Amino acid sequence: MTKHFVISIVRFFYEIMISPFLLSAIIFARLSKKKIDVGLGPEPLINNIYHKKALEEYGFSAQTYVDSIYFITDQFDIRTDFWIQQKQIRKLLLPVIEFIWSVYKYKCVYIYFNGGPLGLGTVFLWRAEPYLYHLANTKVVVMPYGGDVQDMTRSSNLLFKDAMSRDYPEHRVRRSKIGSKIDLWTKLADHVISGCEWVDYMYHWDTLMIAHFSINTEAWKPRALDSEQVAQSDRKLRILHAPNHKAIKGTQLIIRAIKELQEEGVAIELITLEQVPNDRIHDVIQSVDMIVDQLIIGWYAMFAIEAMACAKPVLCYLRDDLIQLYTVSGLIEPDEIPIINCSPLTIKQSIKNLAFNPELLKRIGKKSREYVLRHHSTKAIGDAFASINQSIGLFPQH
């Protein structure tokens, strides 16, 4: 027997034994007075930090909680992984403990399609998690972020399928469970949000958004150029790319395009950052002229929003059918998105055109900042969240 199989058996019997206690605790949670409107977690996603601010701006109390952290940020309110020091014991006990704790504390949870604490670390209890939230009288708003919904059998994007096969070959073994969780939460969550290219994998949503990503536009804003930058009018055009998923981002295509342009005598420089903290990304964005996001998926996400908030032009592939969807749905105006739309076949020419047009770069940067203020500020996303909360019976405290 493999070690993984033995661990699964131990967890299975543990979950059977703990179930009566879990049910009893949840019934008491139903009768308890929950102090905080919204809990955001347990995935350690930076989105939740901004979502908390968005909710607070509309009078809701909110708190972020995580059971681990990534390299991007550790600025969450509660680290539940600190509760149990021994790693193997933590993996066994924490999901149930964290779930019980959360339903005593929160009137509503904002989670992703991976699920809440039980969804991330149990053998079979994850299937009961929506029912347990309901029994505890805790509302659930579910939204996607990417890998939690990317069942590639539901996508017609062949470039993306190929990229996922190269970047995440193990993703195929999770496909069945991803599909099951999409079905589970779509049917049983109190409210379902969709957006981006996530619509490819989902068959229902209660609220469609361009993307639920929000950003603190006071923290992410343009900086004035220093005197040295202003003086160097003939300096190389500096381009930033952050390839945490190289095939998915189209990194090699970007590097090849830049190299060919350099060989043709175009004065450009490519800066790449991988697996660095968010404050480092923030500083480097401020020092470059434009950003290349991704060429494969077909929509933009957090990195592009961070750059646009700082008034930096962004190159990114935007699928025509997604532009049509969000335009027809009334979420954007025709030709409103200021992103320079380019594909693997047009990236080289797009960069070349911008390299010789600094005034265009400035105009696009200004429009980019305005776009983020309209659609991705904490105020804009908070307005959507406030409507969602009220639709499920949750109203601000003040």
Q: How many CB atoms lie within 10 A of CB 36?
A: 16
For 62, the 3-state DSSP assignment is strand
pLDDT of residue 225: 59
Per-residue pLDDT 10s for the chain (398 aa) are 576 777 788 889 999 999 999 999 999 999 999 999 999 999 999 999 999 999 999 999 999 999 988 878 889 999 999 999 888 888 889 999 999 999 999 999 999 999 999 998 899 999 999 999 999 999 999 999 999 999 999 999 999 999 999 999 999 999 999 999 999 999 999 999 999 999 999 999 999 999 999 999 999 999 875 444 444 455 789 999 998 888 999 999 999 999 999 999 999 999 999 888 899 999 999 999 999 999 999 999 999 999 999 999 999 999 999 999 999 999 999 999 999 999 999 999 999 999 989 999 999 999 999 999 999 999 999 999 999 999 999 999 76
- The pTM of the full predicted model, rounded to 2 decimals, is 0.94
**Plot region of 24 (φ>0 → left; ψ -120 to 50 → alpha; else → beta):** alpha
Q: Which domains does the chain have, with CATH numbers?
A: 3-214+379-391 (3.40.50), 227-375 (3.40.50.2000)
At residue 365, what are phi and psi to the nearest 5 degrees?
-60, -45
Q: What angle in degrees, to the nearest 10, is found between the helix axes of 251-263 and 347-355?
A: 50
Cα–Cα distance, 305 to 160 (Å, whole number): 21
